[in-house]
Structure 1
Amino acid sequence: MPSNEQRRQNAKRKLERQLERRAQRARRRRLLGVVSAIAATVVVAGGVYYLATRDGKTDMAAQPSESSTPEGKTTGGPCAYLETPGEKTGGKQVSMPDDPNPTPNQGTTQVTLKTDQGDVPLTLDRAKAPCTTQSFVHLAKAKFFDKTSCHRLSTGEGLKVLQCGDPSGTGRGGPGYSFKDETKPDMKYTRGTLAMANAGPNTNGSQFFMVYGDSQLPPNYTVFGTIDATGLAVIDKIAAAGHDGSLDPSPGGGKPKLPVTINEAVVAN
């Protein structure tokens, strides 16, 4: 029969084992909590990042184009437009923009998107985004936007945008080149904002989005102009018809139920 001392030692060892098991369970719970928090953060960040995402990219106000295409030559000026061979261009051929040094960074340029739902006049601001404006005007003059559809509409709370500029109509197309962001930490995406969609840092191409309702987005998407009241009325009409939900839950939205095609993008003289 065990002595009192042996019983005390056995009880002590049993208590120590219980405490160790309890500590192990606590450590596992903490580890699972950290992993879960990291996973949740990655999921949320990925969703936001994928928005404005060229169809741009989360959510991103736009969903992204493919950014995995091999890189080619680059222009020699300050904007350093970078060739992206293999990108979906919807059969359209376009050169990279001229890249003068210095890049023109003063004044505004008027571009009107003549759509089958009505005209959408835009004012591009070179001071805000000189390289972006230079590229957009180049694409418009090259008729790259002509006969292309606006492929994504988002009507969700905090994300009200119409996205266009993909000649493939898939949300993953572009002009065959990319260029750097021209973002600022204090950028806001309020009603009437014109901004670039992207697939991550410095992957701007041809996809852009027009904000018809104040939207909550991180300042990752280059703001390069505004939409006038006439154009916003056209977008409001398109938004009122809703979307098909084909892009829910991420990046969000879908094809507009009221289809909209840019018949011609006209640059004012």
Structure 2
Amino acid sequence: MTHPESAPRSLLYVPGSNARALEKASGLAADMLIIDLEDAVPADRKDEARAAMRAAVMAGFSGKRVAVRINATGTAEQAADIDALADLALDAVVLPKVDAPIDLGPVRGLGLPVLAMIETPTAIYAARDIGADPAVAGLIAGLNDLAHELKLPDGMDRTAMSHAIQAIVLAARAAGVWAFDGVYNAIDNVAGFAGEAAEGRRLGFDGKSLIHPSQVDPCNAAFAPSAREIAAAEALVAAATGGAQRHEGRMIEDMHVAAARALLARRCRLPSRSR
């Protein structure tokens, strides 16, 4: 099982073909950097992106967790992506468009934890099997592609995908792996992003994938325990005597104590919010 308290809150995509973005990435507060060789890179710059990715990873990112998103299984670019990763020290590989466990086959030889992107109706129905695969450490909601597959009108909110979103969280929890929310496209809508990040945490996601550095700090804040949550968890743990009991006007039992301890364990690794 992947330990939830060690889950990255913020997973920032960095285009592999953008040398300036790669150079600046180590100074950002993202918990995980995902160097992107897929959607962010034009077809005629894939080789350039692979070379830049290798140079950046070998130079290091100041101790940050680093993953690489490669091209999907069945695409012409994937084999070259995998070859480029073979001798690199990475924390994970991000595999897009995973519709079934068989799609994980080409990356198994890397020996890296896989963050599998759930991006199609087929993947939604296979999400539990994908999450249960021993190679998989987490599921990432790929909601842009999913909205396209569902033929949703542009500009729709996430309501039409609520079943799919919850299916991803349920599959991850059933498999004991991480669950990460999808990206928020309106990079200038600060309030909108904050609202969606807060919603993602309420839905049970461990963190969120990001497309712009300005989203990192509000994402980290949304997925860190607040001071109020920490105080409540500390009080609950201190009051617990084992079994069911009354605490501050409600009944608690061992599972509530375990949840409080998990929140406090996450607090030890992450900066908390101010309120």
Quickly name the TM-score band, shorter chain normalised: under 0.3
Structure with larger Rg:
1
Greater relative CO (CA pairs within 8 A, separation 6+):
1
Q: What is the TM-score with the length of structure 1 in the denominator?
A: 0.22
Structure with the higher fraction of residues in strand conformation? 1
Q: What is the TM-score with the length of structure 2 in the denominator?
A: 0.22
Structure with the higher fraction of residues in helix conformation? 2
